[in-house]
Amino acid sequence: MNFEIIEDCFPDYLIKTNITNENDIITIYFHSNRNENNCPSCNTASTDVTTYFHRIIQDLPIINKALFLNIRLKKFRCNNSKCSTKVFSETIDELAFAKKRRTNRLNKKLTAFALTTSAEGAAKLLKSHHNINVSGDTLLRLAKSVTFEINKNEIDAIGIDDFALKKNIDMELFSST
């Protein structure tokens, strides 16, 4: 398969080294060509590479096949003697935040599903139609992490839901007439 168009979807510093296509899983292998990174604690630039590590991150599916990114990243040594951080990892925050197993764009899609569908229903739909394995609990966590901006000055009425009626709350307390 020729996946040249895919390279436009990833940061320029990630260099594609290989692609495997086994069963219903496509894995794209990358390595980072950045030679310098800033310490997250003191923001001092470092070029002193200590070791390498791999991050495997799930991304949006391609042609109904699960897509995983296997990215070889670097660990750098902080050369600032006053900094408490000795070794730090290269970050790829524009693709996936630290310690996350899914890309930001996949999390965005999962959150949209979680906000519009029941969690278990969305998990089944994602598995059967999009080849994305995710639990209902994960979808609930994503939905709960969303914050909405509410301007309290624009609120002029509050509705009473069915829950209040089931609890035998006297509705006369809420009537304005």
**Residues recorded for the chain:** 177
Q: How many domains does the structure of the chain reveal?
A: 2
Residues 24 and 35 in one domain: yes
Residues 25 and 65 in one domain: yes
Query: Quick check: is 121 in a domain?
Result: yes
Residues 42, 10, 99, CA angle at the centre, nearest 5°?
50
pLDDT band at 3 (very low <50, low <70, confident <90, very high): low
Residue 169 has pLDDT above 60, yes or no: no
Q: pLDDT, tens digit, for every residue of 51-110?
A: 999 999 999 998 888 999 999 999 999 999 999 999 999 999 899 998 899 999 999 999
Can you give the pTM of this predicted structure? 0.76
pLDDT band at 171 (very low <50, low <70, confident <90, very high): low
Residue 116 domain boundaries: 102-146
Query: Quick check: is 64 in a domain?
Result: yes
- Residues 17 and 28 sit within 8 Å (Cβ to Cβ): no
Residue burial 27-65, b: 16+ Cβ < 10 Å; e: rest = ebbbbbebeebebeeeeeebeeeeeeeebebbbbbbeee
Q: pLDDT, tens digit, for every residue of 11-31?
A: 889 999 999 999 889 999 999
Section 112-141 average pLDDT: 90
| Distance of alpha carbon 146 from alpha carbon 139, whole angstroms | 11
